[in-house]
Amino acid sequence: MKKIFLLLVINVITHFIAPYSAKAQTQKLIDSLSNVLKKQSPNDIAYGRTLVSLAHAAENVDSCSVYSDRLIVCVQQQLKTNPKNVAMAELQELLAEGYTQKATALAYQNDDKKVIEYIEKSQKIAQKYRFTNIEALNYLTLGAVMFNQGETDNAFKYYRNALGLFTET
């Protein structure tokens, strides 16, 4: 009887209590990052990094898309007003990450044409600056798009490309 009760308690904890705890932790992270963002200047690279973190932490596609859009606009503005090309590679990395995050959000909305458009923008930057992790993530996203379209051969080609880049780093 004790074993059955213990299994029941474990089941209740893992199915009902733990998810709320994880959601609460994620919300605390988002709130904390939002507070940090309010204190940062949009002209600062740290502002872009915080937007990347918010896009990663976002619990839904719409929030991820909003943070990605803000990141892209912010970095594009920084690139325009950056006459001495200070931290150019880091700004380009943020822009590539923004495009990748936007593509990921669009993939969940099944907007394959836009996904490919954003991946191409990200991939162009990632390949120029050799941001292999971003390249690999782009290949994974393209693989998922191809798989959903029933093009399994192309999907596996992209998955292999991603794996090759991940093992390279």
> Residue 9: which pLDDT band, with cuts at 50, 70 and 90?
very low
20 in Cβ contact with 13 (< 8 Å) = no
> Residue 22: which pLDDT band, with cuts at 50, 70 and 90?
low
Residue 18 has pLDDT above 60, yes or no: no
Q: Give residue-wise pLDDT tens across range 30-82.
A: 888 888 889 988 888 889 999 989 888 887 888 889 999 999 999 999 888 87
Q: What is the mean pLDDT of the chain?
A: 85
Share of the chain above pLDDT 70, in %: 85
Residue 147 has pLDDT above 60, yes or no: yes
Structure confidence at residue 80 (pLDDT): 87
Structure confidence at residue 149 (pLDDT): 92
Helix ranges (DSSP H) in the chain? 2-12, 18-39, 45-57, 61-80, 88-108, 112-129, 132-148, 152-168
How far out from the chain centre does Cα 75 lie?
16
Taken in order of first residue, the domains within the chain and their CATH numbers are 40-168 (1.25.40.10)
